[in-house]
Amino acid sequence: MAAIMGEQDKINLVVIGDGRHQYLEQCMDSLHYLSGGSIANGFMFDDSGDEQYRNYLRAQYNDWIVIGDGPRKGFAKTMVAMWQLMSIQPQQWIFHVEEDFIFNQPIWLANMQKIMIDNPYLAQVALLRQPWSKEEQAAGGYMKVNPGWFTERECRSSQWIEHRAFFTTNPHLTRRSVCSTGWEDCEHSEGHTSLRLFSKGFPGVSGDRVRSAILGGKNDEPRCIHIGDQRIGCGY
């Protein structure tokens, strides 16, 4: 008998944007590559500060819940609001993507869920992007800058890399329980949120046990592409 999927098992799909519509269109067009999981709702968090643009988004993507008001708030405050909302949803899974990322191959969400279910200490399973900074490009990828930080793991047909280097806002699957700890509202919020997760943990997992994961192996090709040459956001 096939298992019946409840709301707990479904995934909330979240897109974070700040008005760079030339990127958002490409991102949204590539979401068809996300498969193998049950999507509950699509949430679009817009920090453009432009109500006319938000109204356009609501009309253009009318099956999405578009969230945003007032002037530009910045990345950290947008993440604070997003994690607060995700922490009170009935679904325990959130797939996060920023508008300046696209997918170039199928992403099997159920496989990412299975990895996290089998390894409850994982705060996220992220997707590998291409080398971006000069240092990453010289080394051949961010995992090759400090290779000793990353450990390959494998179980049955799944492969992933574990580390405690960072919690990334690159495209990833995370847990409602992680969001319940709150995003740090400060400069360099991604780094400060990472440090807090690895020191204080999240419900049911102590900080010393927390790990982040990257889907696949160290020598895999990128599963997502960062296209954001133009940054207009603030408050990172």
Distances (CA, A) of 213 to 22, 64, 103: 30, 28, 18
Residue 36's pLDDT is 87
Residue 135's pLDDT is 75
C-alpha span between 162 and 125 (Å, rounded): 9
189 neighbors 169 (Cβ within 8 angstroms):
no
Closest C-alpha to 5, from 90, 83, 87, 84: 90
User: First CA to last CA across the chain, in angstroms?
Assistant: 47
Structure tokens at 67: 């969230």
Full pLDDT tens readout for the chain, 236 residues: 344 568 889 999 999 999 999 999 999 999 999 998 899 999 999 999 999 999 999 999 999 999 999 999 999 999 999 999 999 999 999 999 999 999 999 999 999 999 999 999 999 999 998 776 777 777 556 766 787 889 999 988 899 999 999 999 999 999 999 999 999 999 999 999 999 999 999 999 999 999 999 999 988 999 999 997 655 544 54
Distances (CA, A) of 171 to 57, 125, 221, 234: 21, 9, 15, 19
Q: DSSP readout, 75-109?
A: HHHHHHHHHHHHTTSS--EEEEEETTEEE-S-EEH
14 neighbors 94 (Cβ within 8 angstroms):
yes
192 neighbors 184 (Cβ within 8 angstroms):
yes
Residue 138's pLDDT is 74
pTM, full prediction: 0.93
Strands 39-46 and 107-108: unpaired
Structure tokens at 75: 């990345």
Domains and CATH numbers, the chain: 10-226 (3.90.550.10)
